[in-house]
Amino acid sequence: MRLNVDLGENSYEILIKKGCLNQASSELNLNRKILVISDSGIPAQYIETIAEQCENYLVEIIPQGENNKNIEQFTNLCHVLIRNNFTRTDAIIGLGGGVVGDLAGFVAASYMRGIDFYNIPTTLLSQIDSSVGGKTAINMQQVKNIVGAFYQPKKVLIDPDVLTTLPERQKASGIAEAIKMAATSNSDFFDFLMYQDAWQNIEKVIAESLKIKISVVEQDEREAGLRQVLNFGHTIGHAIEANCSDNYYHGECIALGMLYFSGGQVKQTLIKVLQKYCLPIEVALDPELIFRSILHDKKADGNQITIVSVPEIGSYELNKISISDLKTLLVNR
């Protein structure tokens, strides 16, 4: 299946196809110098499959894990590009999960003010969400994604076959982002996730999630308003991730974050679907710590913060609340 992201001169195509890793040379322009960026947890066979289709390439492997989406890795990758005389007509491939995609995309956005970037996501979370939409970033001073750029890839290749090597817990972490999109935007898809077997229908899960994301990004590429809907669960989720990234994966933090500002029947329904996919529903974290992290988070806008909530499955509301009300809400929860 091919999907298009229509963003004027920044438009691009997404290919979702089993085995498409082997077709990289016919899908991407690899007749130039290519830097393949991956991480130490990505099975070597995927890196080799991509590398052997490039004529002139370098491979850089960063250590795996959220803590490596940092300025040191960013600097190191820029040094590699400089040392090897990469020019603006060359390209970078990010081959990995959201960590690799966010970091490699930001390097591509920054080097010579932007060189071509191809994203080949290898986790479910990155196939469902992070590889599309052009948000690139690194973490700094324990603040998630605080330095980054909007920079769209030239193409995204999604090969569901690579998920066969992904650990179960990482797969569940990815489903959390699909639940997030369904909960805010598509109740039929939510029911599908609730009552059908997502693992047997993984291409549908990827495509349905991406359709929601594409529609939002096309209307609001730079998050002036509508795109904030994609942050459902993220205000609290990022705060949890900033404090406990050793204990929880990104999607698990989002799962916990979605429950924070939900109530009544919606909360019960979310708990049911999260439990179905073995996602956490409770975290013991000092509200003061959460509050301080939110203050650092770029989603706090002056004295206010926008909270995304789901009044009914398949719909959402954006509400601005003051920082002091947020504190009261967290402490009295």
Ligand X SMILES: NC(=O)c1ccc[n+]([C@@H]2O[C@H](COP(=O)([O-])OP(=O)(O)OC[C@H]3O[C@@H](n4cnc5c(N)ncnc54)[C@H](O)[C@@H]3O)[C@@H](O)[C@H]2O)c1
Residue 166 found at the interface with ligand X (CB under 6 A): yes
Do 281 and 255 form a contact (C-beta atoms < 8 A)? yes
Backbone angles phi, psi at 111, to 5 degrees: -65, 125
33 versus 154: smaller Cβ distance to ligand X: 154
Residue 156 found at the interface with ligand X (CB under 6 A): no
Residue 130 found at the interface with ligand X (CB under 6 A): yes
Q: Which of 126, 152, 185, 269 is close enough to bind ligand X by CB under 6 A?
A: 126
Residue 269 found at the interface with ligand X (CB under 6 A): no
How many whole angstroms separate alpha carbon 273 and alpha carbon 60?
38
Residue 66 found at the interface with ligand X (CB under 6 A): yes
Instruction: Tell me how far, at minimum, the Cβ of 139 lies from ligand X, in Å.
Output: 8
Element (H, E) at 195: helix 187-195
Tokens of 59: 């491979």
How many residues of this chain interact with ligand X, rule: CB under 6 A? Answer: 30
Instruction: Tell me how far, at minimum, the Cβ of 102 lies from ligand X, in Å.
Output: 5
Do 240 and 285 form a contact (C-beta atoms < 8 A)? yes
Exposed e or buried b for every residue in 225-236, given b needs 16+ CB within 10 A? eebbbbbbbbbb
Rounded to 10 degrees, the C-alpha dihedral 282/283/288/294 comes to: -80
Instruction: Tell me how far, at minimum, the Cβ of 111 lies from ligand X, in Å.
Output: 18
Angle at which helices 71-83 and 98-110 cross, to 10°: 50
Instruction: Tell me how far, at minimum, the Cβ of 124 lies from ligand X, in Å.
Output: 8
Residue 99 found at the interface with ligand X (CB under 6 A): yes
Do 70 and 55 form a contact (C-beta atoms < 8 A)? no
Which of the ranges 35-43, 77-85, 107-115, 193-201 carries the binding residues for ligand X, by CB under 6 A?
35-43
Residue 171 found at the interface with ligand X (CB under 6 A): no
Do 323 and 304 form a contact (C-beta atoms < 8 A)? yes
Which of the ranges 90-98, 184-192, 219-227, 316-324 carries the binding residues for ligand X, by CB under 6 A?
90-98
Residue 41 found at the interface with ligand X (CB under 6 A): yes
Applying CB under 6 A, the residues found at the interface with ligand X are: 39, 41-43, 64, 66, 69, 96-100, 102, 122-123, 125-126, 129-130, 133, 135, 144-145, 162, 165-166, 170, 173, 249-250
